[in-house]
Structure 1
Amino acid sequence: MGALDFMKIASRNKRRTFLLVLSLILILYFIGRFLDYTFSGGGFYTLLALAIALFQSLISYYVGDKIVLASVRAREPNLSDYEERQFVNVVQELSIAAGIPTPKCYIIDDPSPNAFATGRDPKHASVCATTGLLKLLNREELEGVIGHELSHIKNRDILTMTMVAVLVGAIVIIADLLRFQLYFGGARRRRDREGGGELIALLILFLIVIFASIIGRLMALAISRAREYMADAGSVAITRNPLALASALEKIANYSRPMQVSDAVSHLFISDPKKRGLSEKDSLWANLWSTHPPIRKRIAILKQMAGLSA
């Protein structure tokens, strides 16, 4: 794999993200249509679920970054500290290289090495790193990690994941409304010339209740994993140093103690803060339920970008 193959990887993952988002939209549409048809809702259930999900997502979109930073007890960097000052300098330098405004910088006092970016767009963004990351990595490795986070900002990944949250949230809300109708309201009987139509509809609705939110969640996780690959490729585009990021990921993965953070923010970090080690499970089932791709696979791809064997 050549050194410029990050462009192919980014293009492939953009297509994958588009197809997954389109699939979520189609799932939501058909669930809503079927629910309204069964209960003679006339579009009410679909519109109600979308309205609730949209309201929740708007709150998350405009103040979500502040909520996230507060939840991890992030603070502003101490510029008299060498490592924290170097972190700020790297963010400033790479922001120029990436062609985006310099995001705000924050520090988490945690020995576990990790970092994340948050914010709704490049003009309203923040990059946060742990003290453990700043102590563990050299400057080139830190540049690889910061390049990854700036790529998330440049690609507006927060916007993408907010849109996904709207769709998945709407699917879950529709499933809850459906469950409520089944248990308390009951389906409005519809005439069926051949008979048995209502029973078939109820069976299909039961399957929707079980699988709708699961499918939506799996698709959201798949999109999250695709965005991580894109951010790795984006870091290479900014720094032109895939081996630095590969080395950083290896050091991060080999740190034995996980972070104590909420599951709600785990997907934001460059490495899953709840998992550690290059020996993490790489089974299909484990990957399906993971917010991040296997770190070993990410390192292998980065080494291939540099023209080395995995």
Structure 2
Amino acid sequence: MSALDFVKIASRNKRRTFFLVLFLVLMLYFIGRLIDYASGAGGFFTFLALLIALLQSLISYYWGDKIVLASVGARKPNLSDYEERQFVNVVEELSIAAGLPTPKCYIMDDPSPNAFATGRDPKHASVCATTGLLKLLNREELEGVIGHELSHIKNRDVLTMTMVAILVGAIVIIADILRFQLYVGGARRRRDEKDSGGELLVILILFLIVLLASIIGKLMALAISRAREYMADAGSVAITRNPLALASALEKIAIYSRPMQVSDAVSHLFISDPKKRGLSEKDSLWANLWSTHPPIWKRIAILKQMAGLSA
């Protein structure tokens, strides 16, 4: 595999993301039509679910970066510290190479090596690295990691995942509405002995359908998250032209990482899953389906193939 094959990898994962998002849109549409047809609500439930999910996602979109940075205790870099100053310099240099505005830099005081990017667009972006990462990596490896995070910014992955959250959130909200109707309908039926329970049975069937759809929707969202990680790896190579540096960085991160005390809600942002550890631990297919990140050993193998080496 030539070094230029990062373009093919990025294109493949863009197509994968597009079709997964399209699947979510169609699934929400057909579920909404099914619920509205069965209930005679004339589109009310679908509109309500989308509205609630949209409001939740707008809050996350516009204020999510501040919430995330505060939740991990991020601070501004100390420029008198060599490692933190080098981090800022690398971010500035690679931002120029990537054609991006320089994002704000933050430090997370944690010995586990990791990093993440956040922000709704390139003009409002931030990159955060742990102290453990800065101590562990050499400059080339750090460039590989920063290139990965800048690729997330350049690809507007926060916008993509916000859109996905709206779609999946709407399906989950519809399931919550139906569960509430089941509860209310059950109470009404207990009061009315003449009720045949037919209406309640219809709601129960619809609830089970939507519950299954919400599970599928979450799996689709996780698949999109994994695809964006592959894209960001390829994007890092596009910026640095050094796949082995990122591969080496990921190897060190996997070897020296420890589970981090961060919320599950922000785990998908990190370059490596902060809840996992171990390079040699190859999870089962089932575990990988529920993971926000692809297996790190697989990412390393692809990067080595980009460099023309066997995995």
Q: Secondary structure at the match of 1:277?
A: coil
- State the partner residue of 1:238: 239
Deviation at 1:201, TM superposition (A): 4.2
Deviation of 1:239 (Å): 0.1
1:159 alignment counterpart: 159
Counterpart CA distance in 1 for 2:74 and 2:90 is 18
Query: Sequence identity of aligned pairs in percent?
Result: 89
Give the counterpart letter for 1:172 in structure 2.
Answer: V
Q: Which amino acid aligns with 2:305?
A: Q
The one-letter code matched in structure 2 to 1:287 is N
* 1:183 shift after superposition: 2.5
**What's the RMSD between the two structures over aligned residues?**
1.5
Tell me the secondary structure at the aligned position of residue 119 of structure 2.
strand
Q: Partners in 2 of 1:280 and 1:44 — Cα distance?
A: 47
CA distance in 2, matches of 1:20, 1:279: 30
SS in 1 for 2:73: coil
Matched residue, 2:184: 184
Q: Do the aligned partners of residues 162 and 182 (structure 1) sit closer, same or farther apart at CA in structure 2, a change above 3 Å counting?
A: same
**For the structure 1 residues 224 and 73, does the alpha-carbon distance in structure 2 shift closer, same or farther, using more than 3 Å as the test?**
same
Q: Deviations over 1:151-174 (max 9, x none)?
A: 000000000000001111101001
Matched residue, 1:288: 289
TM-score (norm 2): 0.94
Which letter maps to 1:214? I
Deviations 1:173-226 (A, max 9, x none): 01111111223137xxxxxxxxxx968844641422431221111011000000
Q: Is the 8 A contact 2:181 2:203 kept in 1?
A: no
8 Å CA contact retained: 1:175, 1:212: no
Find the counterpart in structure 1 of residue 125 from structure 2: 125
> For 1:68 and 1:124, how far apart are their aligned partners in 2?
14
Residues 221-230 or 201-210, more deviating: 201-210
1:262 matched to 2:243? The reply is no
Give the total of aligned pairs: 301
Counterpart Cα distance in 1 of 2:171 and 2:47: 11
**TM-score, structure 1 length as denominator?**
0.94
Aligned partners of 1:294, 1:16: CA distance in 2, in Å?
A: 18
- The amino acid across from 2:279 in the alignment is L
Could you list the runs of 5+ residues in structure 1 that have no partner in the other structure? 187-196
Residue identity in the other structure for 2:6: F
- In the aligned structure 1, how far is the partner of 2:275 from the partner of 2:59? 26
Structure 1 letter corresponding to 2:54: L
Structure 2 residue runs without a partner (length 5+): 187-197
Distance 1:93 1:229, change over 3 A: same
In the alignment, is residue 308 of structure 1 matched against residue 309 of structure 2? yes
Deviation of 1:47 (Å) = 0.2
Q: Which SS does the other structure have where 1:123 is aligned?
A: helix
Q: 1: CA distance between counterparts of 2:16 and 2:90? A: 31
1:170 and 2:192 aligned: no
- 2:248 equivalent to 1:247: yes
> Is the CA contact 2:31–2:210 (under 8 Å) kept in the aligned structure 1?
no
Q: Which residue of 1 aligns with 2:278?
A: 277
Q: What do residues 79-137 of structure 1 show as CA deviations (whole Å, max 9, x unaligned)?
A: 00000000000000000000000000000000000000000000000000000000000
Partner Cα separation in structure 2 for residue 208 and residue 221 of structure 1: 20
After superposing on structure 2, the runs of 4+ consecutive aligned residues of structure 1 that deviate more than 6 Å are: 197-200
Residue 193 of structure 1 corresponds to none
Aligned position for 2:103:
103
CA distance in 2, matches of 1:61, 1:295: 28
Kept after mapping to 2: 8 A contact 1:35/1:178: no
Per the alignment, residue 223 of structure 2 pairs with 222
Query: Residue 222 of structure 1 contacts residue 291 of structure 1 at CA under 8 Å; is this kept in 2?
Result: yes
